[in-house]
Amino acid sequence: MKPGKATILIIEDEKDLAKLLKYNLEKEGQEVLTASDGAAGLSEFEKERPDLVILDLMLPKMDGLQVCRAIRKDSSTPIIMLTAKREETDRIVGLEMGADDYVTKPFSIRELVARVKAILRRTSPVAQKGEETRHLGELRIDFERHEVKVAGQEMTLSPREFQFLKLLVEVEGRVLSRNQLVETVWKPQAEIDARTVDQHIARLRRKLGAEGDRIITVKNIGYRIRWD
């Protein structure tokens, strides 16, 4: 990420919407790239390696879930998914594929810009500067480098998954409720339910392998990390 400026890739086939998003994000000082279909968007991503992707779900050539899955094979770049679909299952599928946020059309441009800025603040190298490294068994978390290793092998976490892990580690074994996780990680996101939190935690556990068992579910409350 360039100092003071992020590169954002918009993959959206509605040209007027893409143009409006580009205009408003450039007003905020960001560099914006666009693509109008999934295949072109993935190619642009691989060539430019942007700091954040705004990705429509319904796209020609490759749909948004296919693009998201391809990006997540080797990158933890934040992804905000756009869709005209309102069903909860669509939102959960997008999040399971690795999207960090989900916005249903029609939406407020100001709200989307706020979400972009919030994610960039959390994932900026400057935001992580000065943090320490923690070791729990075979689990090593380097907050400054935004790096997680299990038994020496680096794990690819999304920014949101990393944020969950960071929060649980920072409170050193105390319980965090689902509401606390939502308020900290999704701010200023709205309408996030407990099931969405559970989906992220489940995916984080899988990625951490044997060390994923450290994340303990506290029934009817939330989560804590086993501290030893």
pLDDT of residue 208: 93
Q: CA Rg, the chain, in Å?
A: 17
pLDDT over 90 percentage in the chain: 35
Closest CA to 187 of 104, 106, 101: 101
Helix H, strand E, coil C: the string for 61-127 is CCCHHHHHHHHHCCCCCCEEEEECCCCHHHHHHHHHCCCCEEEECCCCHHHHHHHHHHHHHHHCHHH
At 3, the pLDDT band (50, 70, 90 cuts) reads very low
Q: What pLDDT band is residue 89 in, cutting at 50, 70 and 90?
A: low
Q: What mean pLDDT, rounded, does the chain reach?
A: 84
Domain ranges of the chain: 7-124, 130-225
Q: Which CATH architecture has domain 130-225?
A: Orthogonal Bundle (1.10)
Please report the pLDDT score of residue 60 as a whole number: 93
> 189 and 101 in contact (C-beta within 8 Å)?
yes
Instruction: Report the pLDDT value the prediction gives residue 67, as an integer from 0 to 100.
Output: 93
pLDDT of 6: 87
The secondary structure of residue 221, as a DSSP letter, is T
Question: Which class for 157: exposed (0-12), middle (13-18), buried (19 or more C-beta within 10 A)?
Answer: buried
Question: In angstroms, rounded to a whole number, what is the distance separating the alpha carbons of residues 116 and 80?
Answer: 8
Assign 73 a pLDDT band (cuts: 50, 70, 90). Answer: confident
pLDDT digits (tens, 9 = 90+) for 101-149: 888 888 889 889 988 887 887 666 544 444 578 888 899 998 878 889 9
The answer to whether the beta carbons of residues 117 and 164 sit under 8 Å apart is no
Spatial neighbors of 113 by CB under 8 A, at least 6 apart, are 24, 25, 28
Quick check: 168 pLDDT over 50?
yes
Helix, strand, or coil (residue 138): coil
The amino acid occupying position 121 is: R
Task: Tell whether the model's pLDDT for residue 25 goes beyond 90.
Answer: yes
Q: How far is CA 26 from the centre of its chain?
A: 21
CATH number of 7-124: 3.40.50.2300
**Phi and psi of 67, rounded to 5°?**
-65, -45
Q: pLDDT for 43-58, tens place per residue?
A: 999 999 999 999 999 8
Position 130 scores a pLDDT of 46
| 54: Cβ contacts below 8 Å, ≥ 6 apart | 8, 9, 10, 11, 12, 21, 79, 80, 82, 112, 116
